[in-house]
Amino acid sequence: MATDDPGQPARWVPPAGTVLALTGLAISIYLTIAHYTDPRTLACPDTGALDCAKVTTSAESMVLGLPVAVYGLLFFGAMALLNLPAAWRRQDVRLTVARLAAAGVGVVTVLYLVYVELFRVNAICLWCTGVHVVVFALFAVTLIGSSKTLVD
C-alpha cells in the first residue's frame, strides 16, 4: 500500500470509496424513483424467490413513513462526501471516526435488511442486493483506508 505520505491511506482508497458511494447513490436514486412511480423494476423478475416488487412494496420497505431507498440516498450521499479525496487528505480523526461509524451503521442496516428479505418478505430484490454488496465493499475500503489514521 504505497502512499506519498505515511499518514495517508493507499492511493486507491479515496477513488474506490468515492466510486462505491456514487454507485450506491445511483442505485438508491433508481430504487427511490421506482418506488414512487412503478414498483416493477428493470431487470428483476417479479415471481418466486426473486421479486423486487414484492420487496420494495412490502410493509418493511417503509420506515418512519419513508421508503428505505430514501435512507439509502441519505447514507450514500453522506458517504460520497466522506470519501472524497479531499476528505481523506484531511488527517482529522473525527472524519475517520465518522466515516467508520457511518460504514458500520450501513453494514448493520444491511444485515437487518437481508434478514427481512429472507425471513419476513420471503423474496430477494436484485437491486437491493447490489446495494448490500456496495455497502460491504464500502465498509471494507473504509476500514482499510482508516487503519493508518487510527494506528498513528
Domain boundaries, the chain: 13-146
Which ranges of the chain have pLDDT less than 70?
A: 1-7, 39-41, 148-152
pLDDT digits (tens, 9 = 90+) for 57-85: 889 998 999 999 999 999 999 999 999 99
Q: Would you state the pLDDT for residue 138?
A: 97
Please state, in angstroms and as integers, the Cα–Cα distance from residue 37 to each residue in 26, 31, 57, 124, 144, following that order.
Answer: 16, 10, 12, 20, 39
Q: Domain spanning 13-146 has what CATH number? A: 1.20.1440.130
Output the pLDDT for position 91.
80
Which stretch of DSSP H or E encloses residue 66? strand 66-67
Q: What is the pLDDT of residue 87?
A: 92
| pLDDT value at residue 151 | 60
pLDDT in tens, 110-119: 999 999 999 9
Q: Which pLDDT score, from 0 to 100, does residue 44 have?
A: 79
Mean pLDDT of the residues in the chain: 89
pLDDT score recorded for residue 6: 61
Rounded CA-CA distance 126/50 in Å is: 7
